[in-house]
Amino acid sequence: MTQSRAERTVRDLFRAAGVEVGGTRPWDVRVHDARIYPRLLSEGSLALGESYMDGAWDCERADEFICRIIRAGLEDKVRSSTELKLQVLRNRLTNPQTIRRAREVGRRHYDIGNDLYAIMLDDEMNYSCGYWREAATLDDAQRAKLDLICRKLGLAKGMRVLDIGCGWGAFARHAARHFGAEVVGITISKEQAGLAGERCRGLPVEIRFQDYREVTEIFDRVVSIGMFEHVGPKNYREYMEVTNRRLVDGGMSMLHTIGSNVSKDSMDPWMERYIFPRGKLPSIKEVAAAAEGLFVIEDWHNFGADYDRTLMAWHENFNAGWKAIKARYDERFRRMWNFYLCCCAGSFRARDIQLWQVVLSRGGVPGGYRSMR
């Protein structure tokens, strides 16, 4: 396809989504390099993200732009890239999330710098969706989320809790301080493990650099907040089996995860290459199938719209704090990170992806479980 024909096609596709090239609205795009047009048609979202990183186009509100093109279904109107096809094939033939391979996301995403996450996140460094039902600030929303999880699990003093994918220790600190729990937090990020250990010093909290498949103790509760997205379809059942084995009879587990409306074989190729290597969002069907015969699903709570607000708060914090960290990161990284946050916010706004809190019990809660919101 010639460049001029490709440009006309892309302009028409964008127009169908309510986006104009060279328009004046915040979600309209400004193209600085016309060579992106044929790339967009042949490589789809991978080209969209890479060309933004390279400065080939700009948009005042990339989050609104992404929301509109998702709602218009443009992804289905552009043929799949070779990268996506290869990714799907790899995921079908191999297990991208073995213990050895799973640690790659720790190195490439969570270990890139605690300074970055410190300027972007709330005071407790929660890197997952806040609960904005009655919150006015990011700090309030994250505290509300942690408190909601503890209450849903019925945490009580002296309970032993396994926190799978503990991040920088926010949940462990909250559960220990406010509910008297004893927490073992595990992560596959060395940077997280180091800082989490420092932040939890003096509390009944142990932080380990460890994969969930390597844990051997028994716990009263198991919680996973924003980690299941890295487990992978070939390991969903094993994750549930491991969790089941780690719980006492009558124990409970909380799964806090981003989810997809449909079952897919892969993640967005740009997101997989630059942000979350070997990641994949589970569907309701996949979560339920993995839990079948092992757990009673007591509660399923969707507050995905809250992630939009959380991500935009992170986006604001990141840009406000950029001067403090820019000596360690280049301009291409800044554009990449902004595109990542805006893409995710736009996806949640379009309701293309969700945020679920799933409460699972080992044997069922006697007399029934009381849902909490």
DSSP state letters, 11-52: HHHHHHTT--BT-SSTT-EEES-TTHHHHHHHHTHHHHHHHH
pTM, rounded to two decimals = 0.92
Residue in the block written with tokens 């073992």: 184
What is the per-residue pLDDT for 73? 94
Cβ pair 39, 47 in contact under 8 A: yes
Q: Which residues form the catalytic set?
A: 344
Provide the pLDDT for residue 94.
53
Instruction: Encode pLDDT of 336-364 as tens digits.
Output: 999 999 999 999 999 999 999 999 999 99
> CB–CB of 311/348 below 8 Å?
yes
Q: Nearest 5°: phi and psi at 10?
A: -65, -45
Measured between alpha carbons, how far is 227 from 225 in angstroms, rounded to an integer?
Answer: 6
The answer to whether 154 touches 255, Cβ cutoff 8 Å, is no
Short-list 32, 29, 39, 34, CA closest to 1: 39
- At residue 62, what are phi and psi to the nearest 5 degrees? -60, -30
Q: What is the DSSP string of 67-124?
A: HHHHHTTHHHHSPPPHHHHHHHHHHHHS-TTSHHHHHHHIIIIITS-HHHHHHHS-TT
For tokens 């290597």, the residue is 277
The residue to which tokens 């290459």 are assigned: 273
Q: What is the dihedral of CA 199, 200, 206, 208, to 10 degrees?
A: -10
Query: What are the extents of the domains in the chain?
Result: 3-79, 99-361
Q: Are strands 353-361 and 296-302 parallel, antiparallel or unpaired?
A: antiparallel
Q: What is the pLDDT of residues 274-322, one digit of tens each?
A: 999 988 999 999 999 999 999 999 999 999 999 999 999 999 999 999 9
The pLDDT assigned to 77 comes to 75
Supply φ then ψ for residue 164, to 5 degrees: -85, 115
> Taking CA 132 as the corner, what is the angle to CA 130 and CA 138, rounded to the nearest 5 degrees?
55
Please say whether the beta carbons of 244 and 295 come within 8 A. yes
The predicted structure's pLDDT at residue 88: 42
Q: Which residues of the chain have pLDDT under 70?
A: 1-3, 79-103, 105
Quote the tokens at residue 339. Answer: 């595109």
Sign of CA dihedral 189, 273, 284, 64: positive
Which class does domain 99-361 fall in? Answer: alpha beta
